[in-house]
Structure 1
Amino acid sequence: MAFQGILFDKDGTLFDFGATWNTWAAAVIGDLSGGDAGRAQALAEAVHFDLASQRFHPDSPVIAGTNDQAAALLHSALPERPVEEIAAFLIQQAARAELVPTTPLAPLLEGLAARGLRLGVMTNDSAFSAEAQLRAAGVFDHFDFVAGFDSGHGAKPAAAPLLAFAAGQGLPPSAIVMVGDSTHDLEAGRAAGMTTVGVLTGPALAADLADLADVILPDIGHLPAWLDRA
């Protein structure tokens, strides 16, 4: 069966994870700590962020987790601030993040759509942040489906949000490619019965993704050539 749709993860897939989110996280920790070095260290440890190198550890649960999960971790180091307030703060700050695309997105997406492919984004970020970021990057209108963890379909690694894309587009899951940089993305793709493509623009290494990916590409810019071969 020819592929009829591609569902992308957002962070680490459409946007380079380190270049976008390490700087953002350092600023968020600085804001939440109020300039207190001890509190900043506690917040950084809670989310597995190294203040010295200004980057997330590869095992950070924030990398593939939801906004609410990140807020809960930060709340554990900042218990006097309501977790709901932290979650709202993260959503607002994420919507303003300085995004670094992994490849020129508009021409890539236009080319994929010209092949007759339906395109979607499913992220464990909030739907509000996802829409704001895609609009800021000038590519929101290239997608037929955009969902976050709070869109009512659930979060990865569950298959349900991926199947929502399939159902919404009237496509069989077997005709869809799930593209992501994390094991959560690829576990969800496998569970949904989709072809899985891993990319190396997030913290995960090829070895981390190998057992779950049907193919591993350097970045999403290599998708057209892979589709030609596939």
Structure 2
Amino acid sequence: MSLRADAVLFDKDGTLFEFGATWDAWGRAALEHFSEGDTEALRALAEVSRFDLVRGSFRADSPVIAGTNREAAECLASAIPGLDADVVEAHMALTAAEAPLVEAVPLGPLMARLDGLGLPLGVMTNDAERSARAHLRSAGIESAFRFIAGFDSGHGAKPDPRPLLAFAEAVGLAPARIVMVGDSPHDLSAGRAAGMQTVGVTTGPIPAEALAPLADAVLPDIGHLPGWLGAA
């Protein structure tokens, strides 16, 4: 069977896991934790992180969506005088590893199908590697991936293409034969810069029209990936 690609590299949040269902409640809890009951502080934190307190969700232009834990921590710390970014980052790392996960599609069967097609799989997230492994382990799919990297794994963070090229090297394939699958422009820009094929999914907060200019295809979710690859 001839497929469009010989390996698949996934983003994590908004791609493997529904972004809003997994992270909106966590985000609200984090803002309330750091505001310590101060309404004005809560509003300031919501403003810098682009969190809609009425809807209870991150806006599409939130720097938290595609940023690293450090970038998100520095963003929140900038809202309140005296709030230490190191403290914010440590709290985020601890609570993120325990966040309730909502799979975008049933992940076990999908990963088994992709593996059955002979496709090496990887995950590159701007989350910490420790959190990423905890989430994948919780979903029962950590062993499906030959490569798991976070922003702190030594390869850099998206949209830098270096972590994607590290995956290509790890699986011994030319970047052009790999597809990067993600829900944000950071994911797709990194894929393009690495010379990979790119597929966007709309299980994150970014609309299809914002992903389309950077994607070879935009799919409703990763469950449609086998069909796009040509395995349907």
* TM-score normalised according to structure 1 size: 0.97
The one of 206, 209, 212 aligned to 2:208: 206
4+ long deviations beyond 6 Å: none
State the AA in 1 paired with 2:205. P
In structure 1, the residue matched to 2:183 is 181
Please state whether the residue corresponding to 2:199 is helix, strand or coil.
strand
CA shift in 2, pair 1:155/1:225, >3 Å: same
In structure 2, the residue matched to 1:79 is 81
In structure 2, the residue matched to 1:30 is 32
Which segments of 5 or more consecutive residues in structure 1 lack a partner in the other structure?
none
Query: In the TM superposition, what are the counterparts of 1:99-138 in structure 2 within 5 Å?
Result: 99-138=101-140
State the AA in 2 paired with 1:138. G
In structure 1, the residue matched to 2:174 is 172
In structure 2, the residue matched to 1:51 is 53
Quote the Cα distance in structure 2 between the aligned partners of 1:4 and 1:168. Answer: 13
Please state whether the residue corresponding to 1:178 is helix, strand or coil.
strand
Quote the Cα distance in structure 1 between the aligned partners of 2:16 and 2:149. Answer: 14
State the AA in 2 paired with 1:96. E
How many residue pairs are counted as aligned between the two chains?
230
* Shift in Å, 1:78: 2.8
Q: Does 1:11 align with 2:13?
A: yes
The one of 138, 142, 145 aligned to 1:143: 145
Please state whether the residue corresponding to 1:210 is helix, strand or coil.
helix
* Shift in Å, 1:21: 0.8
In structure 2, the residue matched to 1:70 is 72
State the AA in 2 paired with 1:199. V
Quote the Cα distance in structure 2 between the aligned partners of 1:161 and 1:128. Answer: 16
Please state whether the residue corresponding to 2:108 is helix, strand or coil.
helix
* Shift in Å, 1:83: 1.1
The one of 154, 158, 161 aligned to 1:159: 161
Please state whether the residue corresponding to 2:66 is helix, strand or coil.
coil
* TM-score normalised according to structure 2 size: 0.96
Quote the Cα distance in structure 2 between the aligned partners of 1:155 and 1:203. Answer: 20
* Shift in Å, 1:5: 0.7
Quote the Cα distance in structure 2 between the aligned partners of 1:98 and 1:193. Answer: 34
In structure 2, the residue matched to 1:219 is 221
Quote the Cα distance in structure 1 between the aligned partners of 2:29 and 2:231. Answer: 43
* Shift in Å, 1:79: 3.2
